[in-house]
């Protein structure tokens, strides 16, 4: 192959520029948030079987006790709706347990200005509250309203799937206390887990909240009506929520 | 289908009025800096007077705005975390770089302008750099 000196020098330039970037890559300089901590042997997710939920709020209470959230702030709650069809008089209750969806594409993680919130290798999204500056950017970014500012620590707070309990071989507090057994946590990477088997059995009936946001949520719902998949804004009569007076 | 919310927790307001104040003051400061830059570069008989007024407005608002923004952090004393863990993929750390730079350049320009030090070329360069950071903040 005939190669001129000019071409040779040009190609050497490209090679040199490329080689200059090698130490940058080796140094582990990231250009996007990376997953760290936890084990990549697991991918935790939750299935909420709405056919079994009775709206007793024991998950709300046990989570609050386990994680010591301040009064009036919850990592998980069960929304309750009353639904009446247009041509019918009878009403029915719809229950919708809400928590962090531990999305595979979490919008809360890349916005954090100090990398205090990150996703573990097992998919759990957590916050390092010794680093968090409390800017609430993540609270605004979450489409599921799953985050809040904890006024006891003045940092962002959210559900962690009770990672501290999972590591000790225990179930999350909400799963442990669910009277109907509606909350099922498991490992998606284990095809034999109850979660994986139930997801496979009910594949066509499984729904997630706001799929249009492409966040790839990992809290799955079984028995959720299509009407509740997307936000109810403007479609539901608002609730009468009474705040408990508390100082912070 | 009629849906009544029986129990649904409303989300608390997390971005406090401080954030609104920041946007108000930084908007004024950045626009005033851009006007002052235009006054420096365009030769007009009222140019110097315009530059003086705009610089005064830009500097006062440029000092107030970051104070309002830090007050919006729930952990104000941890502002240094922005510099300790640089995160280029989030917009906020870029603001944390541009904001002090903008105020610093503005202060320098203001000082040189009033002390009548520095030649026109230096002041012009300073005006351009400040205008660029102002555009960065507005974006």
Residue B114, phi-psi category: left (phi > 0), alpha (psi -120 to 50), beta (remainder): alpha
A 198-217 near B (Cβ less than 8 A): none
pLDDT of residue A58: 95
Other C-beta atoms closer than 10 Å to the C-beta of B89 total 16
How many CA atoms does the CB half-sphere of B91 hold within 13 Å? Answer: 9
Domains in chain B with CATH codes:
17-74+90-138 (1.20.120)
Tell me the domain boundaries of chain A: 44-227
Under 8 Å between Cβ of B126 and B102: no
- Contact between chains at A136 and B74 (C-beta distance less than 8 A): yes
pLDDT digits (tens, 9 = 90+) for B87-129: 999 988 998 999 999 999 999 999 888 887 667 788 888 888 8
Q: Is residue A180's pLDDT more than 70?
A: yes
Mean pLDDT of chain A: 86
Question: Is the pTM above the cut of 0.95?
Answer: no
CA atoms of A150 and B74, how far apart (whole Å)? 10
Helix (H) or strand (E) holding A219: strand A219-222
Q: B132 vs chain A: nearest CA distance in angstroms?
A: 22
pLDDT at A200: 93
- CA dist A188 and A45 (Å) reads 7
CB contact under 8 A, B85 and A32: no
Would you call A137 an interface residue with chain B, using a CB distance cutoff of 8 Å? Answer: yes
Each residue of B7-38: pLDDT tens digit? 878 778 888 888 899 999 999 999 999 999 98
Q: Which of A86, A90, A114 to mutate to test the interface with B (most CBs of B within 10 A)?
A: A114
Bridge partner residues of A150 (DSSP)? A155
**Does B5 touch chain A if contact means CB atoms closer than 8 Å?**
yes
- B66 close to B100: Cβ distance less than 8 angstroms: yes
Contact: B74, A84; criterion CB under 8 Å = no
Residues 60-99 of B with CB under 8 A from A: 72-75, 78-79, 81-82, 84-85, 87-93, 96
Q: What pLDDT, in 10s, does the model give residues A78-135? A: 999 888 888 888 888 899 999 999 999 999 999 999 999 999 999 999 999 999 999 9
- The CATH number, out of the four listed (1.20.120.80, 3.30.70.20, 3.40.50.1110, 3.40.50.720), of the domain defined by the range A44-227: 3.30.70.20
| Interchain CB contact of A134 with B (< 8 Å) | yes
Closest residue by Cα to residue B66 from B41, B29, B33: B29
């Amino acid at each position: 192959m005939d190669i001129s000196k000019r071409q040779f020098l040009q190609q050497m330039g490209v090679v040199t520029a490329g080689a200059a970037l090698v130490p940058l890559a080796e140094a582990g300089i990231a250009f996007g948030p990376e997953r760290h901590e936890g084990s990549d042997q697991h991918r935790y997710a939750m299935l909420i079987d709405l056919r079994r939920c009775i709206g007793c709020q024991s998950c709300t209470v046990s989570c609050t006790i386990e994680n010591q959230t301040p009064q009036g702030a919850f990592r998980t709650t069960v929304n309750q709706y009353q639904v009446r069809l247009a041509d019918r008089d009878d009403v029915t209750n719809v229950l919708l347990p809400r928590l962090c969806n531990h999305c595979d594409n979490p919008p809360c993680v890349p916005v954090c200005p100090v990398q205090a919130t990150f996703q573990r290798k097992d998919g759990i999204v957590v916050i390092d509250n010794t680093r968090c500056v409390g800017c609430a950017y993540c609270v605004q970014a979450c489409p599921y309203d799953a985050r809040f500012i904890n006024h006891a620590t003045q940092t962002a707070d959210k559900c962690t799937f009770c990672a501290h309990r999972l590591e000790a071989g225990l179930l999350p507090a909400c799963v442990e206390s669910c009277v109907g057994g509606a909350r099922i946590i498991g490992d998606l990477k284990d095809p034999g887990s109850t979660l994986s088997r139930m997801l496979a059995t009910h594949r066509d009936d499984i729904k997630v909240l706001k799929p249009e946001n492409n966040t790839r949520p990992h809290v799955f719902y079984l028995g959720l009506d299509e009407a509740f998949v997307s936000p109810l804004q403007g479609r539901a009569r608002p609730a009468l929520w009474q705040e408990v007076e508390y100082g912070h | 289908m009629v849906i009544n919310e029986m129990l649904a927790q409303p989300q608390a307001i997390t971005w406090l009025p401080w954030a609104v104040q920041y946007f108000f003051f930084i908007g004024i400061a950045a626009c005033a800096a851009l006007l002052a830059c235009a006054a420096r570069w365009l030769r007009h008989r009222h140019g110097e007077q315009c530059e003086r007024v705009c610089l005064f407005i830009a500097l006062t608002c440029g000092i107030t705005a970051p104070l309002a923004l830090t007050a919006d952090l729930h952990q104000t004393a941890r502002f240094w975390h922005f510099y300790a863990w640089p995160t280029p993929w989030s917009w906020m750390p870029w603001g944390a770089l541009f904001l002090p730079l903008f105020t610093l350049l503005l202060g320098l320009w203001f000082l040189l302008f009033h002390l009548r030090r520095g030649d026109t070329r230096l002041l012009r360069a300073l005006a351009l750099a400040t205008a660029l950071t102002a555009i960065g903040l507005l974006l």
